[in-house]
Amino acid sequence: MRILVVGAGATGGHFGGLLAIAGRDVTFLVRPGRAAHLAEHGLRLDETTVTPRTVTADRLDGPYDLVLLAVKSFHLEQALADVAPAVGPGTVVVPLLNGMRHVERMVAAFGRERAWGGVCMIHADVTPDGRIVRMTGLQRIAFGPLSGGLDDPRVAAVAEALGGAGFDAFATPTVVQDMWEKWVFLASLGAATTLMRAPVGDINRAPGGTAFGARIAAESMAIATAAGHAPRPGAVKVLRDGLATDERMTSSMYRDMMRGEPVEADAILGDFVAEAAKHDVPVPALSAAYTNLAIYASRLV
Ligand SMILES: NC(=O)C1=CN([C@@H]2O[C@H](COP(=O)(O)OP(=O)(O)OC[C@H]3O[C@@H](n4cnc5c(N)ncnc54)[C@H](OP(=O)(O)O)[C@@H]3O)[C@@H](O)[C@H]2O)C=CC1
Ligand SMILES: CC(C)(CO)C(=O)C(=O)O
């Protein structure tokens, strides 16, 4: 199976790198700066360096079987345009992005037969010198057609292509609900850590921190419930435990903010707060977190 990973950053670089190490037929669609960096240094993962096969948008060579979309939300439109020549009639496009707005954009670009859902769980960063580092043992991709049906033969083919490469990969018949539950978790974690400018454990050790986390979690669950995607018991537990931890857990939004880089505020918190407004759900803590990030964004050049 020909696999194209769009973006060789924290998520795309990590999962694509492991796939390359496992001998899969992987190419990275990258922009010229990253292409030059990878040509000079290779793709450096935690303990290994891979010599990746890369391509830039102007040199895409026809359709791939599987596309893993691993760009930030603010680069989505360009990435969808760039990858279009690689999407043929039978291609499957699986997103690793957080939030939900990319689903609609992918369906508009490629249709529901080719645009699938995807959930990626990992805590990873790109260091200033271009290495990909992982902060925890978590590394998982769940994927599936938006319809939920797993009888499409491409499901088994994608599972085989992603399986046995050193990370968890599985097809899910509830990918839209799974994405919502991930959104609830990440929006909560992102809101708490960026508003308080601290990892979760530090928030919970501060006066009022635990109550603040519980409040954020309650608001997030209320939004999802009003939108018809009430988190299932397992997801509620993950959310509550996550926001109550004494560990230094962070979010990619927090780490982007600490580096002074753009944060995916609109796609993750803006859309979430808009969903609350649509259903008349009061979300003062999440709204404050979004306002905070909007001010942060306005101060980036
Ligand atoms: N990091 C994490 O721990 C997690 C992140 N996520 C989500 O995954 C998504 C990706 O995040 P992450 O991997 O961290 O982001 P990164 O910024 O680390 O990587 C994104 C990469 O996409 C590249 N890119 C942007 N536009 C294009 C394009 N048109 N063509 C090719 N490459 C492009 C960037 O390239 P360039 O180097 O040229 O700028 C960059 O290297 C986000 O939605 C994030 O929320 C989900 C779970 C965990
Ligand atoms: C939920 C979490 C923390 C891990 O996948 C994440 O998606 C992120 O930090 O962006």
CATH class of this structure's domain 2-173:
alpha beta
Q: Average pLDDT in the 206-213 region?
A: 97
User: Is residue 134 lining ligand 1, measured as CB closer than 6 Å?
Assistant: no
CATH 1.10.1040.10 given to domain 177-299: yes
Distances (CA, A) of 116 to 3, 81, 158, 276: 15, 17, 11, 25
Specify the pLDDT at position 46: 86
User: Is residue 9 lining ligand 1, measured as CB closer than 6 Å?
Assistant: yes
**pLDDT tens per residue across span 55-109:** 999 999 889 999 999 999 999 999 999 999 999 999 999 999 999 999 999 999 9
Specify the pLDDT at position 258: 97
Q: Average pLDDT in the 10-31 region?
A: 98
User: Is residue 177 lining ligand 2, measured as CB closer than 6 Å?
Assistant: no
DSSP of 187-208? HHHHHHHHHHTS-HHHHHHSTT
Q: Which ligand is nearest the CA of 192, by number?
A: 2
**Alpha helices in the chain, H assignment, sequence order:** 10-21, 32-41, 76-83, 101-110, 153-162, 175-196, 200-205, 209-226, 233-244, 252-258, 265, 271-278, 284-299
**Nearest atom, ligand 1, residue 268 CA:** 45
**pLDDT tens per residue across span 244-271:** 999 999 999 999 999 999 999 999 999 9
Residue 301 has pLDDT above 90, yes or no: no
71 Cα to the center of ligand 1, angstroms: 3
**pLDDT tens per residue across span 75-85:** 999 999 999 99
Q: Which ligand is nearest the CA of 199, by number?
A: 2
User: What is the value of pTM for the model shown?
Assistant: 0.97
157 Cα to the center of ligand 2, angstroms: 26
- Spans of all domains in the chain: 2-173, 177-299
Distances (CA, A) of 96 to 67, 119, 181, 280: 10, 6, 14, 30
**pLDDT tens per residue across span 149-175:** 999 999 999 999 999 999 999 999 999
Mean pLDDT estimate for the chain: 97
User: Is residue 179 lining ligand 1, measured as CB closer than 6 Å?
Assistant: no
